[in-house]
Every structure is written in structure tokens, then in C-alpha cells.
Amino acid sequence: DADVTQTPRNRITKTGKRIMLECSQTKGHDRMYWYRQDPGLGLRLIYYSFDVKDINKGEISDGYSVSRQAQAKFSLSLESAIPNQTALYFCATSDQHSYGYTFGSGTRLTVV
Amino acid sequence: SQKIEQNSEALNIQEGKTATLTCNYTNYSPAYLQWYRQDPGRGPVFLLLIRENEKEKRKERLKVTFDTTLKQSLFHITASQPADSATYLCALGHNQGGKLIFGQGTELSVKP
């Protein structure tokens, strides 16, 4: 099993719909992140959480919300999806004692 | 605002040559810099970290330099192989295990 699992892998949704992307990890890491990746723009941070009771906005949080249900689970919601939220979304984890991130395989979201 | 720039053009090189990728940054004083590899449809994978007080780091065929005066890191792959073909991302961070800011990535293609 993958260390960081994202579901679904692909999703097509309509404008205005609510959608949730889920992330779970078996690394035992306390820190979790949501990034989106767009061609030519790289990875941009949406939200991050350093423990279950800690949620922080990243550089592009508007239109998104998150929930840290447990140390191992961090979900990202789009309350009312719009076409410019079409992107590849990545969840990542890290540990306060290490440096490198462990990424999931991503969710490709298309909003039509 | 903080900005990270990587070679915007794809880099095409011949097998066996050394690939050199550049990461420049402005309006930022990172404590460390990381390099990741990303294959199509996959999440980035952590390769190397170099701290602000280190000039050079090596790992097998990989070498990273970090010049905090020039605000630049160079990433070298020696004796490159077609299997090294991927997109390479640099990322900057302040705190151990903390949030990272990513560059947009450079696509490397190694031809046999």
C-alpha cells in the first residue's frame, strides 16, 4: 500500500457542485499539506496542518476548505466548484524531525 | 513577493552527458533548499536537501550547489541516462518539516 493515498484519482464534476478530495497516510507524520499543480505554475499551497487541531491557509485558499479528521486523514473540499479549479491536486506529509515531503499520486479534477 | 524561477525551457541532452538545472529565487531567505523528481501522472519524489550553510551536496550521480549570495541552486546529474528523464522541482523552506514553496519545474529529456 502507498504511504500517502489520495482518492479519487480522477474526477469530473459540474460547476457549482460540492466535492471532497481525501488523503490518508500511513507514515505517522504529523504534518499534512494540500497543493494544486497547474501547467507552468508549479505547486501552490492551498492549506496545511501541523497537527489535528492546527489548520492554516496557504497562498491560494479561497474557494477551498479542509478538515483534519485524524492525524492520518486530511480532506480538501471545494464548496462550489468552478472551472478554474480544474487542476492536479496533491496531498503531502512531513515530519517535524525530517525534511522531505512524501506526496500522494494526485487527484486530477476537472470542473465542467 | 517570494518568487522561485527554474529553467522554463525543457532541457534536452544526450545520454552520458551532465545535465545542469537552475533554481533562482528572490525575496526569500531559505534555511534550506530541496530538489524533487516528478514523473508524468505521479507525485513528486524527494531527492536531496541542502542547507543554507552548505555549499555542495552529493548523492550518487546527483550534485546540488547552493549559493545564498547569488540566491541560486544548481542541480547536476552526471552520466545521465534516459531513465533520468522527468520534471525536476526545487523547493525552499524555513523550518525543519515546515511548509515549502516550489518552483514550476524543469523538464529534462535524456536521449539515447
For the segment A7-14, the average pLDDT, to the nearest whole number, is 97
| Separate counts of helices (H) and strands (E) for chain B | 0, 11
Residues of B with CB under 8 A from a CB of A: 4, 32, 34, 36, 41-46, 49, 89, 91, 93, 96-105
Interchain contact, B44 vs A103, CB within 8 Å: yes
pLDDT, residue A37, reads 96
For the segment A76-101, the average pLDDT, to the nearest whole number, is 92
Q: What integer best gives the mean pLDDT of chain A?
A: 94
- Please tell me which residue, A100 or B35, carries the higher pLDDT value: B35
pLDDT, residue B96, reads 62
Single out the residue of A7, A2, A3 nearest to residue A107, CA to CA.
A7
Interchain contact, B99 vs A102, CB within 8 Å: no
For residue A2, what is the nearest residue in chain B, using CA coordinates? B43
Total length of chain A? 112
Q: Nearest CA of chain B to the CA of A79: how many Å?
A: 24
Interchain contact, A96 vs B96, CB within 8 Å: yes
Confirm or reject contact between A33 and chain B (CB < 8 A).
Answer: yes
The CA distances from residue A12 to A15, A96, A102, A107, in Å, are: 10, 35, 26, 11
Amino acid (1-letter code) at residue B104: Q
**Per-residue tens of pLDDT for chain B, all 112 residues:** 778 999 878 999 999 999 999 999 998 888 899 999 999 989 999 999 999 999 999 999 999 999 999 999 999 999 999 999 999 999 998 866 578 999 999 999 999 9
**What cell was used for B21?**
538545472
Interchain contact, A99 vs B49, CB within 8 Å: yes
pLDDT band at A1 (very low <50, low <70, confident <90, very high): low
pLDDT, residue B9, reads 83
- CB pairs A-B closer than 8 Å: 60
- Please tell me which residue, A76 or B26, carries the higher pLDDT value: A76
Interchain contact, B34 vs A42, CB within 8 Å: no
| Angle at CA of residue B94, ends B88 and B92, nearest 5° | 15
The rounded Cα A75 to chain-centroid distance in angstroms is 6
The pLDDT tens digits for A26-63 are 999 999 999 999 988 889 999 999 999 999 999 999 99
